[in-house]
Amino acid sequence: MSASYTRPMLPAGTFSGRTIAVTGGGTGLGRSMSEYFSALGANLLICGRRSEVIESAAQEISAATGGQVLGLSCDVRKPEEVEAMFAAGAERFGTLHGLVNNAAGNFICPTERLSYNAFNSVVDIVLKGTYNCTLALGKRWIAGGTPGVVLNISTTYAWTGSGYVVPSAVSKAGALVMVRSLASEWGKYGIRLNAIAPGAFPTEGAWSRLRPPELGPNADPMKRIPLGRHGEHQELSNLAAYLLSDFSAYITGACITIDGGTWLRGAGQFNALEDVTSEQWDDLQAAMKRKRS
């Protein structure tokens, strides 16, 4: 039997009659989450920049789950494309109920090597793309008097910061503050906004960009994960589905970390003592005992 965390969690039909939009839903974690929402009965609107990738993802998800899936090419940096995407989604499915701001762009680079355009490219996708989508759908919900739910895929360095991914860190921090701000401002409209900060969940795109083998063992994330394993896509999908569903109706403005304890391992002042061997501890404790007596 598979471990319980790799099993789908929510009851069948949780999203029946609901439509959920996922930016960047054609690949990676966006694709995994989308497939699960569809399996739970959602109509899906997924978008990505490459039309052939998004269209074949839509067909594959629909074939796997039997659900309705509309795959549209859309560059979230462009408000007019975002508006057109939601208009097409509304035409096909009627009211849209949920949005997952998942589309992202990132690369590792010493900050002083970045051009202004490199910085802008990431900010435009991650921060502006997130507010373009949130604003476009939020306006529709408010005008139509319909409740809605937004989920941002964030990161723990949205609050710790991180070197070598500064444009992404700045953007994710801004997007998280937007979630918290709007959770307060738009609660009166029945709109909830939350975020997830995932740790290491292997995907082809992110891992080849952010952990290239050329970096050597320094990039081995396993060494920094207290729970000693990477995340499974299903456990992230379970959390995402919960936060989009009515089961979490009283949760808004939250950011839930799902990283096996990784960011705390990096934060704790003495956590590097993890590398001290058992024999070294024996010697150390004996020496301290001698000092006390």
User: Which residue of the chain is nearest ligand COA when measured via CB?
Assistant: 105
In whole angstroms, the minimum distance from the beta carbon of 135 to ligand COA comes to 21
Question: Which residue lies nearer to ligand COA by CB, 164 or 281?
Answer: 164
Q: How far is CA 39 from CA 18, 214, 284, in A?
A: 12, 38, 55
Catalytic one of 36, 116, 131, 157: 157
* 8 Å CB contact between 226 and 163: no
Question: Which residue lies nearer to ligand COA by CB, 96 or 165?
Answer: 165
Identify the H or E element spanning 93.
Answer: helix 79-93
16: which DSSP letter? T
In whole angstroms, the minimum distance from the beta carbon of 106 to ligand COA comes to 4
Residues contributing to the site for ligand COA (CB under 6 A)? 104-107, 109, 114-115, 117-118, 121-122, 125, 205-206, 209-210
In whole angstroms, the minimum distance from the beta carbon of 45 to ligand COA comes to 20
Q: Which residue has the tokens 């949920």?
A: 98
* 8 Å CB contact between 190 and 147: yes
Residue 27's identity, in one-letter code, is T
Question: Which residue lies nearer to ligand COA by CB, 108 or 251?
Answer: 108
In whole angstroms, the minimum distance from the beta carbon of 75 to ligand COA comes to 9
Question: Which residue lies nearer to ligand COA by CB, 40 or 173?
Answer: 173
- 164 included as an active-site residue: no
Question: Which residue lies nearer to ligand COA by CB, 220 or 246?
Answer: 220
* 8 Å CB contact between 27 and 133: no
* 8 Å CB contact between 147 and 191: yes
Provide the token pair at 68.
């309705």
In whole angstroms, the minimum distance from the beta carbon of 167 to ligand COA comes to 8
Cα-trace Rg, the chain = 21
Secondary-structure breakdown of the chain: helix, strand, coil percentages, each rounded to the nearest 5 = 55, 15, 30
Residue 21's identity, in one-letter code, is A
Active site residues: 157
